[in-house]
Amino acid sequence: MGAIRQVYLDHSASTPVDPRVIEAMLPYFGEVYGNPSSAHRFGSRAERAIEDARISVAGILNCQPSEVIFTSCGTESDNLAIRGAGWSARHRGKPSRLVTSPIEHSAVTNTVDQMGALMDFDTEIVPVDKFGAIDVGKFTEACQSRGALASIIYASNELGTIQDLPLLSRIAHGQGMLMHTDAVQAGGQLDLDVERLGVDMLSLSAHKFYGPKGVGLLYLKDGVELAPSQSGGSHEHGMRAGTHNTAFIVGMAKALELAYEENDERLKHFRQMRDLLIHGILDRLPCAALSGHPDRRLPSHASFILHGIDANALMMHLDMAGVAASSGSACKTGNPEPSEILLGVGYSEEEAKSGLRLSVGLQSSEDDISYALDALETAVEKLGRLKREMAR
Ligand code: PLP
């Protein structure tokens, strides 16, 4: 029996590390091993690499290098922004309400929930429409009640929907609130110019744009007061204690540089592959409806509700056929609960258990897409047949 073909369509969960990124990181696993905080030349070499990475990232974000804080992942970056802004507001006796949306990643949702449950922070969740776009009227009302921070995801991991951040930032600022965005899915694809976006804080994670897992960053606008959520040494201006991961920081900067140098070709390829998937699925599967926004969506992202199909069972069938997909965010794999995000945009419990996410990447080819479409059609037919037999 020959090996099964492998088709990876889960780039929103993680991407393979670009070989050019691996090459850039290699010296920092070996010859450049000094602690970047050490005063001797072993330390200075590592420190130089980190500061070069910071300058490079700042160029892409259009900010000062001193406004870039390196973290261990996107989750940590979200935590630092939300806890840091909330704690700082409370400490200074300022309004400390937190405003967010029902379609945030759990890194934001669970942080906001915990601040509410353990520390009595007022929290408000602003509704979204059926495409996952923030209700601007309700967002304005929520900000008018004053607060510390609004945290709104730039592009949804489950729906692909992109928010109008410049508008939301203007509204939040109009009421004296800070604006944070979880831009983890947007990194490598969408505009990250923090001036244009108008945000005070922005979170990224390298493994979504062909960098290594376990490294991220927070853009923190100069002058914004934040109480660090991790205490220890004075690394990252005291905002994020802990010895730097030199190799991964270098890798993240290299991956971000490549993503924006090659942005036009990458996005053209992503859109072509994504649209083949969307049209193929809507043509071939009568049970399928697109979820998320039809136009304002990530170039790499296709998502659907497959009415009457159990998404977890479908994932298993696809996996057996060699196709990697997702029924929601990676953190929910194997969790039979309906997707909170799909419930958040108004889908029923049953529909929220029928979500399918396919996300394309640099290596995705037309052949991959047609193989995945065939595998999907076969799996959906099989599951439909089983369901009918069980109902008899
Ligand atoms: N935010 C979003 C939107 C994500 O998709 C993810 C990862 O899936 C995260 C945050 C967490 O990032 P990390 O895996 O680096 O902790």
CATH of the domain at 387: 3.90.1150.10
Note the pLDDT of residue 330. 44
* Cβ(181)–Cβ(197) below 8 Å: yes
Q: What are phi and psi of 301, to 5 degrees?
A: -115, 125
**211: Cβ below 6 Å to ligand 1?**
no
Note the pLDDT of residue 181. 98
* Helix (H) / strand (E) containing 82: helix 74-91
Task: Tell me if 237 is assigned to some domain.
Answer: yes
Domain identity same for 237 and 93: yes
* Cβ(9)–Cβ(372) below 8 Å: yes
The domain boundary residue, chosen from 261, 281, 309: 261
Task: Tell me if 36 is assigned to some domain.
Answer: yes
For 371, the domain range is 7-16+262-391
Beta bridge partners of 340: none
Q: Which of 318, 319, 315 has its CA nearest to residue 335?
A: 315
Ligand 1: distance of its center to the CA of 224 in Å?
A: 23
Shortest-distance Cα residue to atom 13 of ligand 1 = 74
Q: Which atom of ligand 1 is nearest to the CA of 73?
A: 15
Domain identity same for 59 and 160: yes
Domain identity same for 202 and 298: no
**158: Cβ below 6 Å to ligand 1?**
no
Which parts of the chain have pLDDT scores under 50? 329-332
Q: What's the 3-state SS for 153-169?
A: CCECCCCCEECCHHHHH
Shortest-distance Cα residue to atom 12 of ligand 1 = 74
The domain boundary residue, chosen from 261, 282, 309: 261
Domain identity same for 126 and 274: no
Domain identity same for 305 and 387: yes
**105: Cβ below 6 Å to ligand 1?**
yes
Task: Tell me if 290 is assigned to some domain.
Answer: yes
Q: What are phi and psi of 109, to 5 degrees?
A: -55, -50
Looking at the structure of the chain, the number of domains it has is: 2
Ligand 1: distance of its center to the CA of 251 in Å?
A: 17
Note the pLDDT of residue 372. 98
**Tokens, residue 128:** 């979204």
User: Which strands form 355-359's sheet, in the order they lie side by side?
Assistant: 288-290, 301-306, 355-359
Domain identity same for 188 and 283: no
pTM of the complete model = 0.96
Domain identity same for 214 and 120: yes
Q: Which atom of ligand 1 is nearest to the CA of 14?
A: 8
Note the pLDDT of residue 329. 46
Domain identity same for 286 and 322: yes
Q: Which atom of ligand 1 is nearest to the CA of 76?
A: 16
Ligand 1: distance of its center to the CA of 76 in Å?
A: 9
CATH number of the domain at 26, please.
3.40.640.10
Strand duo 178-182 + 201-205: pairing: parallel
Q: At what angle do helices 246-261 and 41-61 cross, to 10 degrees?
A: 30
Residues 6+ away with beta carbon under 8 Å from 241? 228, 230, 231, 232, 233, 234, 235
Task: Tell me if 2 is assigned to some domain.
Answer: no
Domain identity same for 278 and 210: no
Task: Tell me if 1 is assigned to some domain.
Answer: no
Domain identity same for 185 and 45: yes
Active site residue 331: yes
Q: In the block, which residue shows the tokens 């259009």?
A: 62
The domain boundary residue, chosen from 204, 232, 261: 261
* Cβ(178)–Cβ(98) below 8 Å: no
Q: What is the CA radius of gyration of the chain?
A: 22
* Cβ(158)–Cβ(342) below 8 Å: yes
Note the pLDDT of residue 336. 67
- Separation of alpha carbons 354 and 336, rounded Å: 11
Note the pLDDT of residue 335. 54
CB atoms within 10 A of CB 156: 33
How far, in whole angstroms, is CA 291 from its chain's centroid? 17
**107: Cβ below 6 Å to ligand 1?**
yes
Q: Which of 63, 143, 287, 331 is labelled catalytic?
A: 331
Identity of the amino acid at 359: S
Task: Tell me if 279 is assigned to some domain.
Answer: yes
**74: Cβ below 6 Å to ligand 1?**
yes
**329: Cβ below 6 Å to ligand 1?**
yes
* Helix (H) / strand (E) containing 73: none
Task: Tell me if 108 is assigned to some domain.
Answer: yes
Domain identity same for 328 and 294: yes
Task: Tell me if 374 is assigned to some domain.
Answer: yes
- Separation of alpha carbons 45 and 214, rounded Å: 22
Domain identity same for 228 and 130: yes
| Positive or negative: CA dihedral 23, 25, 29, 31 | positive
Q: Which 8-state DSSP code applies to residue 143?
A: H
**351: Cβ below 6 Å to ligand 1?**
no
Give the helix, strand, coil percentages of the chain, each rounded to 5.
Answer: 45, 15, 40
DSSP 269-327: HHHHHHHHHHHHHHHH-TTEEE-S-SSSB-TTEEEEEETT--HHHHHHHHHHTTEE-BS
